[in-house]
Amino acid sequence: MIKAPDARRRQFFSQLLGTDAASTTRRQPWHRVPEVGAGDGDVLWSGWAGNGEVFVVGDEGTILHYDGNVDEASRQWQRMETPSRLPLHGIWGLRSDQLIAVGWMGTILHWDGHQWQQRYGGVIDDKERFAACAENTPLFAIDGNADGHAWAVGDNGMILHYDGTEWIREPSPTQVNLRAVACAPDGQVYAAGAEGTVVLRNSEGQWVRLNCPLGSGFQAMLLTGDNELLLAGGRYFVDKGGFRGELVRYQDGQFQALNFKEDMPRLRAIRSYRDGALIVGDQGRLYYLEGLDLNPLESNTIHDLMDIVPLPTGEALAVGDFGLVLRYNGQNWAEFNVGTENFLYDVWGTPLDDIYAVGLSGTLTHFDGTRWNVQPTRTRDDLLSVSGTSGANAYAVGTRGQILRLDNGHWIRERSGTDHGLRSVCATRNGPIYAVGDRGLILRRSP
């Protein structure tokens, strides 16, 4: 049985989302998590929340973890150590100490509460290249049941079953790429993918193909009742002259495309939320579906969104392209106007009215509690990290050895003695400042 989060866990979820009483007046409906640590070209594909914790998986083997505990850099979101740098596309588990992540080259990682271990995929041949074998077939989705059994699906109709001990390949009735899987309470399992493909694992443990007359490329599915599904994806529409997103209902053994007035881009994920479902897709599109009413939500981003992570607070996170993490307060999605459209890589601050964010081409912007104002830095190098001990004592570092120090409200350049890129900076109160970067570089500055 999964225990409900205790009062302390609920409190830090509220702090994460800005829903505690003290911050209600300052609440921002979403924010980009500063500790993401993913590159601008990286994608965060999926997430899991429960037991008072959040895990997000993505490119480069990225697994981000939030548990409310602050690390030495005063960060609550932490990047976890993983045994693989291969992209991770899906994550599932019954508890926060029993999780499974799946991804590229058939990678399957297990988390036991202490470390991530590779259990499948990523096979290397004698030439130190990924072997051309079935075990290396890319996986894109995973789901499981209350008994701890799980199914992962991927390219070429690949279906893997975890029986609690080992992963076993199951005979598949299709060779098309599968992108979604869902376990029903009655023991049946559904999977879906390209070309309108929907397959069912029946009570005898055999996979059979359902007769779907639609050609949609399904990316996600949601169980809405006994033998009832909502499927999300997209396909080319001749009458519209292009690719459009599509929602399909499976009910009473029949598939029916749902028609809406608004054209949608490709849909990537659909999750149960309150009395309906949250849906995300390409171009930053967000929707709330209640019955047959599709209500667009404002995301204030044009980046593709890949998944939704409902939280115990009744709110949600959305993750996507460019290392994006959004948060939803149940009413609307909103964005800080930070005074720049450049990519921002890091953010740091002390109180709520003294925050700095740094980014592309020397971008540095400051929040004073009311608005964000871009500050001059006199550099075009990318700034990748910012840290300090107070609003008057802060440092920013970046490419080509760039180091900036805040001095009487102005940012001045300091000599670093290197041209290597600096990736992170950490300032300690009354102690030294450290900067780390390319080629194992570590710099130390006395206070």
pLDDT in tens, 47-72: 999 878 899 999 889 898 887 666 66
Q: What is the CATH number of the domain that holds 215?
A: 2.130.10.10
Instruction: Look at 353 and 137; give whichever has higher pLDDT.
Output: 137
Regarding whether 157 and 80 lie in a shared domain, the answer is yes
- Decide: helix, strand or coil at residue 60: helix
Is residue 145 in some structural domain?
Answer: yes
DSSP output for 309-370: EE-TTS-EEEEEBTTEEEEE-SS-------S--S-EEEEEESSTT-EEEEEGGG-EEEE-SS
* Residue 376 φ then ψ, to 5°: -70, 140
Domain boundaries, position 378: 344-445
Q: How confident is the model at residue 73 (pLDDT cuts 50, 70, 90)?
A: low
Chosen domain end from 280, 303, 328: 328
Rounded to an integer, the average pLDDT of 421-434 is 84
The residue from 277, 298, 328 where one domain ends is 328
Q: What is the CATH number of the domain that holds 353?
A: 2.40.128
Q: Please tell me whether the overall predicted TM-score, pTM, comes out greater than 0.85 for this model.
A: no
Residue 258 pLDDT > 80: yes
In a domain, 440, yes or no: yes
In a domain, 5, yes or no: no
218, 360: one domain: no
The mean pLDDT value of the chain amounts to 83
For tokens 């009744």, the residue is: 314
Q: Which structure tokens are listed for 268?
A: 């990537």
Residues 214 and 89 in one domain: yes
Point out the least confidently predicted range of 76-80, 196-200, 414-418: 76-80
Q: What pLDDT does residue 330 have? A: 67
Q: Indicate if 254 and 192 belong to the same structural domain.
A: yes
Burial 107-130 (b: 16+ CB within 10 A, else e): bbbbbeeeebeeebbbeeeeeeeb
Mean pLDDT for 190-218 is 95
> Does residue 393 sit in the same domain as residue 318?
no
Q: Please check whether residue 18 lies inside any domain of the structure.
A: no
3-class SS of residue 422: strand
With 50 as the cut, is the pLDDT of residue 151 above it? yes
Domain count along the chain: 2
> Strands of 355-359's sheet, edge to edge?
344-349, 355-359, 364-367, 372-374
Which residue did the predictor score with more confidence, 120 or 51?
120
**Residue pair 379/404 in contact by the 8 Å Cβ criterion:** yes
- Which pLDDT tens digit goes with each residue over 336-378? 455 666 677 888 876 556 788 888 888 898 887 777 788 888 8
* pLDDT more than 70, % of the chain: 84
Q: Are residues 56 and 111 in the same domain?
A: yes
CB 248 within 8 A of CB 228: no
